[in-house]
Chain A
Amino acid sequence: GAVVSQHPSRVICKSGTSVKIECRSLDFQATTMFWYRQFPKQSLMLMATSNEGSKATYEQGVEKDKFLINHASLTLSTLTVTSAHPEDSSFYICSAREASYEQYFGPGTRLTVT
C-alpha cells in the first residue's frame, strides 16, 4: 500500500514554455500533498504544501505565480512550472500524506529546460 506515482518521470522542455507534473496517491486519500525540489548533491527542499480543496502554502523564496499547484482531489495534485528557464531544471518530487501519518514519496520527475 501507500503508493504515490508521478507523471512524467522525465520531461525536456524549451525555455519559456510551461510544463505540468502530476502526483497521484494510488491507494489512499491524501489530505495533504507536498512538493519538493532537489538539486544535484543537495537536500530535498520543500517548495509548497497543499491541502485538498484549498490554496497551497508556499515556502519562503518560492514564487507561487511561477510554480502553480492544484490539489483538486484527494488523490491528485499537479505542479505547473510556468515560463520555465534553465535554472528551473531539477528533480521534482511530490509526497502525499493521509491525515497525520507518514509522508509517502513519488518517484520524482526530472525536468530539463533547454
Chain B
Amino acid sequence: DQQVKQNSPSLSVQEGRISILNCDYTNSMFDYFLWYKKYPAEGPTFLISISSIKDKNEDGRFTVFLNKSAKHLSLHIVPSQPGDSAVYFCAASENFGNEKLTFGTGTRLTIIP
C-alpha cells in the first residue's frame, strides 16, 4: 500500500526553465510534508518542507505547494540548474513531523544544459 506516490519516475527540463515535481498521498492523517534530493550512492538531503496549516512555502529557487483537498503537493524549482539533476523524494509524516517518514518512490530530474 503506497501511501505516498510520485507517478512520474523521470522528468527532463531545459536549464533555466521551471521544474515541477508532483506527489500525491492517500493518508489523511499526514500533516507534514518534505522534499528530499538524492544523488546516487548518497543519502537524501533535506530541501524544503511544509506543514498542513500552510499551502505554500518558499525557499530561494524552491517552492512547495500543498493542496490538502486534493491530497497533492508539488515542488517547483525555478530557474532549473544543471546541479539540480538528481532523484527527488517526497515524504510525509503525522504529528507535524514527530512521527516516521513515509517516502514516495522518487522522480529522477534531469536538467538539460
Interface residues of A (CB under 8 A from B): 4, 6, 9, 34, 41-46, 49, 91, 93-95, 100, 102-108, 110
Across the interface, do B98 and A44 meet the contact criterion of CB distance under 8 Å?
no
Across the interface, do A108 and B100 meet the contact criterion of CB distance under 8 Å?
no
Q: Name 28 interchain pairs, CB-CB below 8 A, sorted by A.
A: A4-B43, A6-B43, A9-B41, A34-B101, A41-B9, A41-B105, A42-B105, A43-B4, A43-B89, A43-B105, A43-B106, A44-B89, A46-B101, A46-B102, A49-B100, A91-B41, A93-B43, A93-B44, A94-B43, A102-B46, A103-B46, A105-B36, A105-B46, A106-B43, A107-B41, A107-B42, A108-B42, A108-B43
Interface residues of B (CB under 8 A from A): 2, 4, 9, 34, 36, 41-46, 49, 89, 96-98, 100-106
| Chain A neighbourhood of B98, CB < 8 A | 100
CA of A106 to CA of B64, assembled, Å:
24
CB proximity of A1 to chain B, nearest CB, Å: 12
Q: Is the interface of A mostly helix, strand, loop or mixed?
A: strand
| Chain A neighbourhood of B41, CB < 8 A | 9, 91, 107-108, 110
CB proximity of B69 to chain A, nearest CB, Å: 25
Of A43, A104, A108, the contact of B103 (CB 8 Å cutoff) = A43
Across the interface, do A95 and B103 meet the contact criterion of CB distance under 8 Å?
no
A-B pairs, top 4 by smallest CB distance, nearest first, are A105-B43, A43-B103, A44-B103, A43-B105
| Chain B neighbourhood of A100, CB < 8 A | 96-98
Across the interface, do B89 and A102 meet the contact criterion of CB distance under 8 Å?
no
Of A42, A45, A105, the contact of B45 (CB 8 Å cutoff) = A105
| Chain B neighbourhood of A45, CB < 8 A | 103
